[in-house]
Chain A
Amino acid sequence: MTFWERYRPEELLLFSEQVYWRLFDLHNQAWWPAPIIALLLGGGLILATVRPTPARLRVCLGGLATLWVFVGFAYLNARYATINWAARYAVPLFVVEAVLLVAAALFPGTGRVRDHRRAWPGLVGPGLIVYAVILHPLTALSRETGLSGAEVFGLTPDPLAIATLGTLSLSGNRLPAMALSAAPTIWLLVSATTLFALDSILAWVPLCAVVLAWAALLNPR
């Protein structure tokens, strides 16, 4: 391969892949034992959404709202911003999403669960949530840090955004669900761009999550 073929337009990246992944390790250490609590919360989300009812869905949306605020400040603002000053500009996005989720949790209509949950669009939601809570942290096994550098649902943005899209795709109220999906989608696209620039194969994860979630959101079945 020649030099010119290797040349890639990643000029805007400020940090290395090693530093990026090690942030999760530092984050887990700093918040220990919060990763365990977050995993338990994630387990609760899985149970609640395997057989969703309107009340359960609304409780989940309220819970996710809290986590969006927490991740916005504790991860983006306090940790990610130490290596990427642009991360601070994403904090308002996380706060807006939290406010919208609270609003959704308070309005009885949004709790409506989609019909035909056995059809594939209905399975996307639980699939994304299970991936975000259980499988996504395991991707850390392929890295220098091992599981201590796992991206844990509820503490870090990608699995939170994936689980949120999964939860929203269960809603039978498609328009509000799509509006609420905007922020997680934007975040996951930013994350995919960052990971592509870092040359990480994991860049496909947020991208696939967005495609799957929107395929389900747009499908009325």
Chain B
Amino acid sequence: MTHRLNLNRRTVIKGMMLASAATLVPPWIRAETRPMMRTIPSSGERIPSVGLGTWITFNVGQDPVLLDERAAVMQAFFEDGGAMIDSSPMYGSSQATVGYGLDKLGYPESLFSADKVWTGNPNRRQSQIAESLDDWRQEHFDLLQVHNLVAWRDHLPRLQKMKANGEIRYVGITTSDGRRHDQFESIMRSERIDFAQLSYNILNREAEKRLLPLARDEGIAVIANRPFQQDRLTQWLADKPLPPWADELKATSWAQILLKFILGHPAITCVIPATTRVDHVRENLAAAREPLPDAAMRERMAAFVRDLA
């Protein structure tokens, strides 16, 4: 999925070593520890259903210690079968941190790069995309999204043209925290988009009313952002005992319960929790395994958490 920029001898050899190491693990064991895959409706391509967000967590500037720590998070992410990394020019140095990690890890083949266009000035678009690619140390993005619908009328046709030219593979739009859902919905109905990214979590279920059913009808893949409401949910739940039904879901933490709730909705293609920690990234990927809650169980989960709140 990835488009490598610096393919030198060392990275090729490193990649071959990693690949051969991976083949030493029996396939049934690997399958067991891989996150569940979901299909992108517009292409039929299957991607892992847990990705990695980068807002705040990957904005570490040029701090060498923190750059290496984030690269370690990315390494664990790829080792455990992750693919989609989501970033934006709005996120400070996050794109460059991803680029640093990709370079350090030898540009993992499984990367699914999801970035955004975030400018109100259409003349700035191309230079912004070029700078983002530079930061990511990539030649192409898999997915480009119009961030928060900023100047979407200008950007969407151009992104569609880029897709037609083979410069990107998918086009999307994003929003968060329930903002501009009416407009979001009308774009989902009227424009040819592959991905819709929106906020969805156990306490923010607004998208269930119209956007998620619409995504299924229109064949649009959905990326769920802010699964933990930017750590407020996980922090608030941290000192609360796990509910008795956590075992039924094979969930070992609140984070996994929250992710399983999201993945239990059939319209969700990928959820993108952000983290600074290796143990958390592994825990998040491990949430994308059976069993997932059905509709009745999801109601039970939401009611339980709502009561706690």
Contacts and interface: CB of A to CB of B under 8 A. Distances in A.
Interface of A: 1-4, 6-7, 11, 13-16, 18-19, 22-23, 26, 79, 82-85
B5 to A, nearest CB: 22
Contacts of B59: 14-16, 19, 83
Interface of B: 55-57, 59-63, 65-66, 90-93, 177, 203, 232-233, 235-236, 276, 308-309
A83 B93 contact: yes
B61 A79 contact: yes
A6 B63 contact: no
A153 B62 CA distance: 23
Nearest to A78: B62
Contacts of A2: 309
B71 to A, nearest CB: 15
A84 B90 CA distance: 9
Contacts of B65: 22
Given A13-B56, A82-B93, A19 B63 contact: yes
A84 B92 contact: yes
A186 B65 CA distance: 33
B61 A82 contact: yes
B146 to A, nearest CB: 19
Given A16-B56, A82-B92, A3 B61 contact: no
Contacts of B56: 13-16
Contact of A3 (B57, B60, B203): B203
A11 B232 CA distance: 12
Given A16-B56, A82-B93, A83-B92, A26 B236 contact: no
Nearest to B55: A14
A85 B56 CA distance: 13
Nearest to B235: A6
A80 to B, nearest CB: 9
Contacts of B233: 3
Contacts of B61: 19, 23, 26, 79, 82-83
Contacts of B90: 14
Contacts of B232: 3, 6-7
Contacts of A22: 63, 65-66
A83 B60 contact: yes
Contacts of A15: 56, 59-60, 92
A15 B235 CA distance: 18
A4 B65 CA distance: 35
Contacts of B63: 19, 22-23, 26
22 contacts: A3-B233, A3-B308, A4-B309, A11-B177, A13-B56, A14-B55, A14-B91, A16-B57, A16-B59, A18-B66, A19-B60, A19-B61, A22-B63, A22-B65, A23-B63, A79-B61, A82-B61, A82-B92, A82-B93, A83-B59, A83-B60, A85-B92
A4 B232 CA distance: 10
B301 to A, nearest CB: 15
Contacts of A7: 232
B92 A3 contact: no
Given A19-B63, A79-B61, A83-B61, A14 B92 contact: yes
A3 B309 contact: yes
A7 to B, nearest CB: 6
Given A18-B66, A83-B60, A83-B61, 10 more contacts: A3-B232, A3-B236, A3-B309, A4-B309, A14-B92, A15-B92, A16-B59, A19-B59, A19-B63, A22-B66
Nearest to B305: A3
A73 B57 CA distance: 26
Q: Which 9 A/B pairs are nearest by Cβ-Cβ distance?
A: A82-B61, A3-B309, A83-B61, A14-B92, A15-B59, A83-B92, A3-B236, A83-B59, A2-B309
